[in-house]
A and B are shown apart, each in its own frame.
Chain A
Amino acid sequence: MRVVILPKESEPKLYDVLNDLGEVWAPVQRGEVWRYEKIDSGDKIKGNPTRTLLPAKKLLLPQEINMLDFDKEKFKKASAEIPVRIILGIHPCGINAINILDEFYSTDFLDPFYRERKDKTILIGKSCIPDEFCFCDQTNTKIVEKGYDLFLTDLGDWYLVWIGSSKGDDIVKKGVGLFNEEMPKDIHSKFISWRKDQNSKFRHGIDLEGVIDLMELEYNADFWTELGEKCLSCGQCTMVCPTCTCFNTIDDMELTKPAGHRRRYWDSCMFREYSLVAGGHNFREARSDRLKLWYTHKLKAFIGLFGSPSCVGCGRCITTCPVDINIKTVVANLKGMEVKNEL
């Protein structure tokens, strides 16, 4: 792999290189939260928040996509102008989540709406230091091996830049004068101590070992009912989850002519209607059944399908759930640990 150096004072200038390629999206602070926003200058690249409110999936799978246009004669795939987008500052968990989306949307059937967006996305990742909600060390997602174009490891005054794709290499070539080919002398010790520092900061108290089997063994455990009673079915956990992909479709008619559109929008397995069929039979009427589905999917089922969990340890479900149901509390219950309930 090719590796170069980007001095931190050159980072704002990177914007000009990227802006020539397409829209530049980076975390921007809005009140208490950070969100990915399209930025219009290099000085907007500031800060490296632990997590944004919504993951980068909002750009690859917008909350709403117009899939089809139809009239009395036919259905036609809706065409959309999809810009090239550079997502700057995405963390390893986020890139790993996109790798999961890639795999999911390319298995058996290729989803054209995801694919056409992903094909126009450039990912420039950035290293991070975990807070108390991060548990990517448990999901093997604290480092990335693939899926990024460039990845910047923050080593103080400069970034170590890993070049992960041909597109990434082009960016480095276009950024004349921004990158150094020559490695600083202290790179080795700096990198090792950065790694140590990162590892020492995990303090989540989550241990995923053996959870697949426990999901099976604790299938009928009482705690599911208890969690179900607390759950508000608000679906926020699925909205903020970087690997949640479920969608529903709805048809809208135009007011003035017999034509319409089929839109697809984020759905949640926490919603009552999720498994409801025509005629009124609901395969998952109980909230506890719906919760169980989500955790089964994340921690067990996906491993059966793709060999790794579909949880990347980003901690968003922990910071988001208003009633404290999250990977942390569910895993604690699975392991028979005493769960500190603050509500």
Chain B
Amino acid sequence: MNYNTGICKPNPDLYTPIMMKIVEIKDLTEDVRFFKVKSLEGDYDAPYQPGQFMMVSLNDGAGEAPFSITSTPSRPGSIEFGIRKVGKLTEKLFTYKVGDSFGMRGPFGNGFPVEKMRGKDILIVSGGLGSVPLRSLLLYILDNRNDFGKFTYLYGAKGIGEMVYKEDFLEMLSSDKLKLHLTVDKDNSGYEGKIEEGLVTNLFRYVTDINPENTMAAVCGPPVMYKFVVKELLKLNLPKSNILLSLERRMKCGVGKCGHCIIDYIYTCVNGPVFTYWDVIHTRELI
């Protein structure tokens, strides 16, 4: 397990956010919105890892909450989020326009162990909104393509309307940099031949000819998905420590102090949110 010993560099102290300005907004689905932010002074150049998260703070009473970073550190200058409107804070955030600003603390969490993944074949499996944090890893690998072996990406969403970054993914279908397979639980009308129908686990039939010892898998999706996806990965004989899962918990501080994300002796915000499947077996309640 990675243990994050860093301090959130750009922030003056643990809990004080710095202000970020929204420079781009677009809708990813009906209720998921993309926000690109820069620091008020200009480019944001503090380092982070794919899979890390930020605490986003609104200065209008709506509070603070954790959000995965959807951008890649290989494209510095700004930070991007893909945020679903699902609670008090996000409802307020969805009224924000380009030019508005909000507070941000971070980056927090361990992120994906990209150094360990280097040289390995990569298999990413995402469900629904799981593509938001995994986009960071996806773009990171594409930007450093020669550092990694074979690259396969499986993405399943509920329906066409719920698929985040749909246009980007459709475009990547023809890319020779990765093998990409897309599916929706039901009704793919209009996208036949590009997006399949069925659960994301059905896409594993495309994953053949892999060297399990040399493959690292990264998984993120709704809680219900992990069990089924892990089962498929184990069928492929992937070692448990090569299966990386990015998990969600309630978090109020991001630095292992408020307690909400604790599971046994693990603070999801500091020791996670990325865990190996061995961590999951070893620690009850992780998934």
Binding site for B on A (CB under 8 A): 67-68, 70-77, 104-105, 107-113, 219, 245-253, 258, 260, 262, 264, 267, 269, 274-279, 281, 283, 293, 296-297, 300-302, 304-305
Contacts and interface: CB of A to CB of B under 8 A. Distances in A.
Contacts of B270: 108-109
A194 B259 CA distance: 40
B97 interface: no
A275 B268 CA distance: 12
Contacts of A73: 19
B5 A251 contact: no
Given A253-B60, A283-B250, A301-B264, A278 B90 contact: yes
A278 B87 contact: yes
Nearest to B12: A77
Given A77-B12, A262-B64, A304-B265, 7 more contacts: A72-B59, A75-B18, A75-B19, A108-B3, A249-B63, A253-B60, A260-B61
Interface in B239-253: 248-250, 252-253
B4 interface: yes
A interface, over-half SS: mixed
18 contacts: A70-B59, A75-B57, A108-B3, A109-B255, A111-B257, A245-B257, A245-B259, A249-B253, A253-B60, A264-B258, A274-B260, A278-B65, A281-B223, A300-B265, A301-B264, A302-B265, A304-B265, A305-B265
Contact of A247 (B7, B17, B61, B252): B252
Nearest to A280: B86
A279 B222 CA distance: 11
B280 interface: no
B103 A75 contact: yes
Interface residues of B, number: 45
B202 interface: no
B88 to A, nearest CB: 8
B252 A248 contact: yes
A58 to B, nearest CB: 18
A249 B265 contact: no
| Nearest 6 CB-CB pairings of A with B | A246-B259, A278-B87, A301-B265, A304-B265, A109-B255, A253-B61
Interface string B110-141: 00000000000000000000000000000000
Interface in B50-90: 57-65, 84, 86-87, 89-90
A248 B260 CA distance: 8
A74 B265 contact: no
A249 B59 contact: no
Given A249-B252, A251-B62, A253-B61, A293 B16 contact: no
A177 B84 CA distance: 69
A275 B59 contact: no
Which of B58, B258, B259 has the most chain A CB atoms closer than 10 A to its own CB?
A: B259
A15 B58 CA distance: 47
B262 interface: yes
B63 A277 contact: no
Contacts of B147: none
Contact of A258 (B16, B17, B60, B265): B60
A108 B4 contact: yes
A215 to B, nearest CB: 10
B172 interface: no
Contact of B16 (A77, A260, A264): A77
A276 B258 contact: no
Contacts of A276: 250
Contacts of B13: 77, 112
Contacts of A108: 3-5, 255-256, 270
B285 interface: yes
Interface in B4-30: 4-5, 7, 12-19
A249 B257 contact: no
A29 B86 CA distance: 49
B227 interface: no
A73 B20 CA distance: 10
B278 to A, nearest CB: 16
Contacts of A246: 258-260
Contacts of B250: 274-277, 283
Contacts of B63: 249-251, 262
A279 B258 contact: no
